[in-house]
Structure 1
Amino acid sequence: MWKLGRLLTRFRKELLLAWAVLRDPRAPRAAKLVTLLAALYVISPIDFVPDAIPVLGWLDDGLIAYLLLQLAFRFLPAELLASLRARVGERGRSGAAP
């Protein structure tokens, strides 16, 4: 059960980081574009594995979105990524809404 809680916490932080990338004017366009592609893949009705297959359909959405977000984060300069991660970490500890 603890592993699931840690996984959900990490997932929430990754989503907050993705939102921070989209909002930060210092983020390169490539990072913003790949972040948007990840979001569009999740909401798109066209998938590699259809969502009608209960678990596999959702897992493929999550995995591909996660991989796209990791690619987007690689486009960020190291200092900007560290700054955004610190900001997301502060939000997570304070319990403030995004």
Structure 2
Amino acid sequence: MGFLKTIKEKAKKLKQELVVLHLAYSHPRTPWTAKAIIILVIGYALSPIDLIPDFIPVLGLLDDIILLPLGIYCAIKLIPNEVIKECRERARTYSWDKKKSIVAGVIIAFIWILAVYLIVSHIFINR
């Protein structure tokens, strides 16, 4: 039971850090390099497609266990400490705007559809 509880706590903390990154993205003192990483991290977290599909035993979850925390860590290292502190405070009471979340989901799905289209058309047109 302790192992499962630890995993749930880590998942909750990971979600909280994604909210912190979301808030830091709109902060004027966040550097553009951090904003670029934030876009990649949140996009990957929200994406329905993983680099390694989840149904592959162990490896499928490994990308989520390694890539997301690594991306979060990299983004946070580029953001001033005062900004992170302020965003963590705001994240405690933050609630997502469902309309914006739907729009973000549609944009991410569109990007994946476009990427698949470009890859498939490149393969079949260049044959």
Query: What RMSD over aligned residues (CA atoms) do the two structures have, in Å?
Result: 2.3
Q: 1:31 aligns to what?
A: 34
Query: CA offset at residue 26 of structure 1?
Result: 2.2
Unaligned runs of 5+ in 2: 97-127
Change (3 A) 1:12 1:41: closer
Q: Give the aligned residue type for 1:26.
A: R
Change (3 A) 1:97 1:39: closer
Match of 2:5 among 2, 24, 30: 2
The percentage of aligned residue pairs carrying the same residue is: 25
Contact kept in structure 1, 2:21 and 2:38, CA below 8 Å: yes
Larger radius of gyration: 2
> Which ranges of 4 or more aligned residues in structure 1 deviate by more than 6 Å?
none
In the alignment, the residues of structure 2 paired with residue 40 and residue 11 of structure 1 have an alpha-carbon distance, to the nearest angstrom, of 14
Q: 1:97 aligns to what?
A: 95
TM-score w.r.t. the length of structure 1 is 0.73
TM-score w.r.t. the length of structure 2 is 0.59
Aligned residues: 91
